[in-house]
Amino acid sequence: MARSSLPDFIDGTDSGRTSSQTRPRSLVLNLLVSLRPSQWTKNLIIFGPLGLAQRLLDPTSVIQATIAFGIFCILSGVVYLVNDVVDREADRLHPIKRFRPIASGAVPVGVALGFAAVLATISLTAAFWLRPTFGAIALAYLSLLALYSGPLKHLVIIDVLTIAIGFVLRAAAGAVAIAVQVGPWLYVLTILLALFLALSKRRHELVLLADQATGHRRILEEYSPYLLDQMISVVTASTLVAYAIYTVSPDTIAKFNTNLLGLTLPFPLYGIFRYLYLVHLKEGGGSPSDMLLNDKPLLLCVALWVIAVAFIIYGPAQLLHLGR
């Protein structure tokens, strides 16, 4: 039976592969693959302020947050296009990334850059139309990640911090999009969790590529599995402690009129430990989005955490309180 090209479209890792078992994709489809839609789950953090501000039942806020999410998905695609152009030579040395459309030659460099320019113009125009402040954050995000595709990815520690700050900008954009203020804890937890994922990805690359690691990504010669394990340990502990403090802090209890959020701690505990298990024993961590979508226990943990938090914040007792 001929191998379907659908899985390639979803995860974008086998992009551009052509054989007797796989039909060549059109240029348009290869461009869509290069936007890496499976990675757009990273932009879900934009909905965080919507939930924490108790605006999930406000149709206007939901629409604004959804538009913001769509804009950042397009901006993420622009970043991936530019990054793949810059990294195309190194990607050809990678056992998986060499199949990406730009690295494989299925998408010409000029076409990719032209497509990125059009998408950037459209998305930034929409961002400033939604709210000028949101547009400014969107522009800052695009500029920061463009710098990451250039010099910042070659600076040890700065490389992973840049990725983490990109997630913080997403969270800030989610708050600005619906015109609410969120406490500093959201940004603290966001940067810590993003660092955890970025460091785990670095470790995966270092272990997977072994002696060829530095040929694929020069910055990897500045890291070692031991150093990354030490950093991951620090960030893991910090993330869990920060989450525990946030859920039981007086401000949080007063804001949501409940002291039950602390009961959700087992979910992040299991989720992070499961992720570490996949990184260390199953050689995972290369793509956090793929791990989330493909590992059923991890996906179930995240789903149960969302349900539990939503029930505590929006449960019958809270709805009565909000309706007063």
pLDDT of res. 12: 41
Quick one: DSSP state of residue 260? -
Contact 94, 209 (CB under 8 A): yes
Q: What is the pLDDT of residue 138?
A: 96
Which is higher by pLDDT, 90 or 166?
A: 166
The three-state secondary structure class of 19 is strand
How far is residue 261's CA from residue 269's CA, in Å, rounded to a whole number?
A: 14
122 or 86, which is more confident? 122
Using CA atoms, how far residue 161 sits from 25, 97, 268, 301, in Å, is 36, 23, 22, 26
**Beta partners for residue 22, in sequence order:** 19
Query: Regarding predicted confidence, which is higher, 315 or 308?
Result: 308
Label residue 17 by pLDDT band (50, 70, 90).
very low
1-5, 15-19, 150-154: the lowest-pLDDT one: 1-5
Q: Is the pTM of this model over 0.85?
A: no
pLDDT for residue 199: 92
Q: What phi, psi does 53 have (nearest 5°)?
A: -90, 5
Grouping H, G, I as helix, E, B as strand and the rest as coil, residue 321 is helix
Question: pLDDT at position 285, please?
Answer: 62
CB 243 within 8 A of CB 266: no
pLDDT for 135-193, tens place per residue? 999 999 999 998 988 888 889 999 999 999 999 999 999 999 999 988 888 899 999 99
Q: Mention every residue, 6+ apart, whose C-beta is less than 8 A from residue 79.
A: 142, 145, 146, 149
Biggest CA–CA distance in the chain, Å, is 66
**Closest by CA position to 203, among listed 272, 269, 276:** 276
